[in-house]
């Protein structure tokens, strides 16, 4: 009984870390105009608080995964709580927009550690037969953050100012750290191997070179010389990273993992899923507020069916994936999501709320059906000593998909 309670507490600690990262991302989007007014600056400059956060997270996830496999997932996860909480404090205290952007990048270092280690800790904690159901906590945590994020953000900003959306992370971060310290088991059987700093620098530069222009493509356009140049440089660095990793004894990421068809296809599917999902997250509020002229609070309520459907379905799909081939479940989820997106593509200015919400429910159902089995397939396709790297790769695919969703939405 005590072991079962400890396992549940560990999953709760992972859910808190995942919730914090997702909540912070969704809430900051909401208060960009408030931050711009406070610092008397342009919205394009304020948007760098999001761009810097996303770039730093995405570019370091693989390195965090490798460090977790080397020194223990718990240690990296706890460090993530510390950095994220301190980062939240200094973000709230920032006196200039430049400092806020720098502090957001610092905060992202901790957020990346939390994101990269969560699935690995879950995989370490539970038996393979329960992995799918346990991994559903991450999907539920993200959906929960998306559900209540706009509500919390709107209330805090109205009552206490935009700084409060960062200060609220402090008690949550402290509580999450204490719970994780107490409940997550420490694995002392890991063999410390040399870290690959050259590989870490190459992949960092490659992802920055690709993701930065993708973040700016809406403003500059796909045909801009600098956009194409940096994407080309990034792709060249990716090729160089693969070559380097194949020829050293202790690589940052074992390229041979992609020889496993299940691992490779599941990661590609995750990227496409998050790309499609983020396209909806960006375009639906634009449709509701710009085309239909609804206020933000009403638009937020109409958007709720999608994350709520995901929250309801994710635990069920996780349990199913423990009992049958996860590929069939995740494929069905992608198909259902495509149907929902097809419904949403017919939205017009005079479309009924019922039709739009029905489309969002179908999309949310598909997301919940896809994500947990797909994540379980990725984590189950690698040896236990590489779960950190697998978790980091999954998080990297998620963030690349998010950036691609932004680029496609603005095209």
Task: List, for residues 280-334, the tens digit of each pLDDT value.
Answer: 877 887 788 778 887 766 777 787 888 889 888 988 898 888 888 888 999 999 9
Options 1.10.630.10, 1.20.1250.20, 1.10.3210.10, 1.10.1060.10; which CATH number does 2-195+252-409 get? 1.20.1250.20
Residue 398 confidence (pLDDT)? 85
**Is residue 214 scored above 90 in pLDDT?**
no
Residue 409 confidence class, pLDDT cut points 50, 70, 90: low
Can you tell me the mean pLDDT for 14-24? 86
**Is residue 231 scored above 50 in pLDDT?**
yes
Task: Give the lowest-confidence range in 57-71, 296-310, 330-344, 377-391.
Answer: 296-310
- Positive or negative, the CA dihedral 41, 43, 47, 48 is negative
What's the rounded Cα separation, in Å, for the pair 17 and 113?
Answer: 9
**Is residue 130 scored above 90 in pLDDT?**
no
**Is residue 125 scored above 90 in pLDDT?**
no
**Is residue 337 scored above 90 in pLDDT?**
yes
Q: Domain-by-domain residue ranges, the chain?
A: 2-195+252-409, 196-251
Of 167, 159, 180, 190, nearest to 68 by C-alpha is 190
What's the rounded Cα separation, in Å, for the pair 124 and 121?
Answer: 5
Q: How many CA atoms lie within 13 A of 88 on its CB side?
A: 25
Residue 89 confidence class, pLDDT cut points 50, 70, 90: very high
Residue 386 confidence class, pLDDT cut points 50, 70, 90: confident
Residue 16 confidence (pLDDT)? 92
- Residue-wise pLDDT for 38-48, tens only, equals 999 887 788 88
- Residue-wise pLDDT for 163-200, tens only, equals 999 999 999 999 999 999 998 887 655 656 788 888 88
- Residue-wise pLDDT for 244-280, tens only, equals 988 888 888 888 888 889 889 999 999 999 888 888 8
pLDDT, mean over the chain:
86
**Is residue 1 scored above 50 in pLDDT?**
no
């Amino acid at each position: 009984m005590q072991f079962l309670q400890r396992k549940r507490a560990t999953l709760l600690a992972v859910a808190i870390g995942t919730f914090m990262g997702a909540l912070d991302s969704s809430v900051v989007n909401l208060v960009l105009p408030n931050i711009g007014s406070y610092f008397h600056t342009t919205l394009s400059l304020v948007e760098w608080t999001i761009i810097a956060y996303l770039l730093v997270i995405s570019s370091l996830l693989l390195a965090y995964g490798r460090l977790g496999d080397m020194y223990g997932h718990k240690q990296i996860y706890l460090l993530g709580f510390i950095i994220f909480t301190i980062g939240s404090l200094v973000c709230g205290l920032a006196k200039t927009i430049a400092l806020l952007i720098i502090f957001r990048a610092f905060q992202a270092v901790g957020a990346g550690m939390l994101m990269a280690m969560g699935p690995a800790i879950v995989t370490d904690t539970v038996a393979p037969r329960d992995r799918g159901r346990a991994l559903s906590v991450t999907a539920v945590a993200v959906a929960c953050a998306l559900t209540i994020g706009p509500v919390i953000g709107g209330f805090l900003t109205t009552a206490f100012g935009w700084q409060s959306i960062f200060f609220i992370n402090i008690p949550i971060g402290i509580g999450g750290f204490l719970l994780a310290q107490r409940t997550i088991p420490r694995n002392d059987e890991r063999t410390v191997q040399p870290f690959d700093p050259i590989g870490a620098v190459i992949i960092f530069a490659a992802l920055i070179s690709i993701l930065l222009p993708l973040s700016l493509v809406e403003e500059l356009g796909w045909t801009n010389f600098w956009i194409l140049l940096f994407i080309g440089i990034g792709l060249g660095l990716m090729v160089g990273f693969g070559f380097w990793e194949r020829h050293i004894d202790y690589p940052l990421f074992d390229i041979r993992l992609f020889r496993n068809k299940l691992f490779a296809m599941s990661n590609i599917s995750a990227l496409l899923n998050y790309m499609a999902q983020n396209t909806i997250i960006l375009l639906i509020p634009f449709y509701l507020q710009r085309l239909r002229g609804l206020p933000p609070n009403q638009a937020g309520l109409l958007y709720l069916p999608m994350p709520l459907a995901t929250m309801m379905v994710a635990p069920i799909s996780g349990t199913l994936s423990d009992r049958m081939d996860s590929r069939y479940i995740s494929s069905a989820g992608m198909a259902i999501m495509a149907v929902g997106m097809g419904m949403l593509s017919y939205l017009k200015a005079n479309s009924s709320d019922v039709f739009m919400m029905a489309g969002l429910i179908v999309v949310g159902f598909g997301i919940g059906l896809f994500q947990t089995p797909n994540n379980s397939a990725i984590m189950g396709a690698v040896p236990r000593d590489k779960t950190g790297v697998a978790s980091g790769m999954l998080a990297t695919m998620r963030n690349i998909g998010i950036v691609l969703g932004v680029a496609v939405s603005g095209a």
